[in-house]
């Protein structure tokens, strides 16, 4: 029994090469003292990248053209510095032009890497 036009199995929503999207809560990467919690391994690498992105994105005084941190996923040597920015909901966002990885970081305010507070606001 086959019916014409039966729905395909579980269609993927994405088209083309899938770029990873990371949604990160900064608190999950910090210990009670506010330091980076993971001590080693891939989690540590990701945590260091996340904190670097926070510092870059929240440093409103940084000169234009200052490169962002190096993408933690890229194996390439060139052009792997990510772009960082602020989303409308105050999440820190990043995007890697080299591999297409992007992400959002929430709860970064008040961490050691939040440089927005030291910036003169007046």
User: What residue ranges bind Zn ion (CB under 5 A)?
Assistant: 71, 73-74, 96, 98-99, 101
Query: In the block, which residue shows the tokens 């990043």?
Result: 94
Count the neighbouring beta carbons within 10 Å of the beta carbon of residue 1: 2
Q: 115: exposed, middle or buried (C-beta count within 10 Å: 0-12, 13-18, 19+)?
A: middle
Q: How far is the CB of 21 from Zn ion (least distance, A)?
A: 13
57 vs 96, beta carbon nearer Zn ion: 96
28 vs 76, beta carbon nearer Zn ion: 76
78 vs 88, beta carbon nearer Zn ion: 78
Q: How far is the CB of 95 from Zn ion (least distance, A)?
A: 9
Q: How many residues does the chain have?
A: 122
């Amino acid at each position: 029994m086959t019916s014409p036009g039966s729905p395909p199995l579980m269609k993927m929503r994405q088209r083309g090469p899938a770029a990873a999207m990371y949604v990160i809560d900064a608190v999950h990467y910090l210990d009670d003292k506010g330091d980076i919690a993971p001590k080693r391994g891939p989690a540590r690498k990701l945590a260091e990248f996340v904190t670097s992105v926070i510092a870059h994105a929240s440093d409103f005084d940084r000169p234009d053209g200052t490169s962002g941190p190096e993408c933690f996923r890229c194996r390439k040597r060139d052009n792997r510095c990510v772009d960082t920015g602020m989303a409308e909901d105050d999440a820190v966002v990043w995007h890697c032009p080299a591999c297409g990885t992007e992400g959002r970081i929430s709860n970064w305010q008040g961490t050691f890497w939040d440089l927005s507070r030291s910036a003169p606001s007046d």
